[in-house]
Amino acid sequence: MFSSLDPQTALRWAGDVGEHLRQEAIRNSGGAAWIGAVPLRDIERAHLSVIGYDLYSGSAGVAVFLAALAALTSDGAIEALAREALAPIRREVSNPSHAKVLARTIGIGGAVGVGSLVYALLLVGRFLKDNSMLDDAQRAAGLIGDREITEDRFNDVIGGSAGAILALLSLYDRTCDSSLLRTAIRCGEHLMKSMNFHPILSRRADSFSARPLTGIAHGAAGKALSLHRLFKVTNDETIQVRCIRGCQI
């Protein structure tokens, strides 16, 4: 079915998805949310609930899709919905007391943590040509402090420091803010410390399986990717060694 898919058809289908999201949106106080399958962080299950804020299964991911669709179609209603999807997140990261609670609750990861909010705000701002979202991305990045890094027990791309590194460096590429690089380096140091029993291969902190994982999302490949990105910016040979070992698994 997809072998002969042309761009116009793909865009029309994407528009259908956008219209479905518009119809299903729960709007309140200038924001938008949806009911969906929300992962239960520690037991690898999901339940139906109002989706959270993150990129993987929350409103940040919905906002990225809608913003990309709006950029391609110039659809004002879809752009407005993308902004509504991000509105509650932007309010949270702009409120210091709420933001700290949010960071402790969702962690620092690149798909389900604060890192995912950083990346979503960066992307949506780019798609909608709205530089004010860069300011919120910076605020979100500032929530990744020493305590949050130290308490990270996932360490992977989805929920841990590997994902935080990718998000922070993406924002650093755009802003050249040295504080973002310093935070990414601290995440890298934490990530490498977590590899004590093996150079880079590790088990998920929330997994009942004894098998080490090798993939992008939770395993060695994702950690190697993050450390490679960090090495390319810092030229730190210690980081390079860890990357090489990871790629030899």
pLDDT score of 196: 53
Which residue type sits at 237? E
Instruction: Quote the crossing angle between the two packed helices 237-247 and 178-193, to the nearest 10°.
Output: 50
pLDDT score of 199: 44
Do residues 82 and 34 touch, judged by C-beta distance below 8 A? no
pLDDT score of 217: 94
Nearest to 192, CA basis, from 234, 142, 240: 240
Positions in the chain whose pLDDT score sits under 70: 1-3, 41-43, 196-211, 244-249
Return the DSSP state at 40.
Answer: E
Rounded to whole angstroms, how far apart are CA atoms 99 and 202? Answer: 30
Whether the pTM exceeds 0.85: the reply is yes
Rounded to whole angstroms, how far apart are CA atoms 44 and 63? Answer: 25
pLDDT score of 85: 98
pLDDT score of 223: 92
Do residues 231 and 239 touch, judged by C-beta distance below 8 A? yes
Return the DSSP state at 57.
Answer: T
DSSP 124-173: HHHHHT-THHHHHHHHHHTT--HHHHHT----STTTSHHHHHHHHHHHHH
pLDDT score of 107: 96
Half-sphere exposure of 126 (CA within 13 A, CB side): 15
Do residues 150 and 180 touch, judged by C-beta distance below 8 A? no
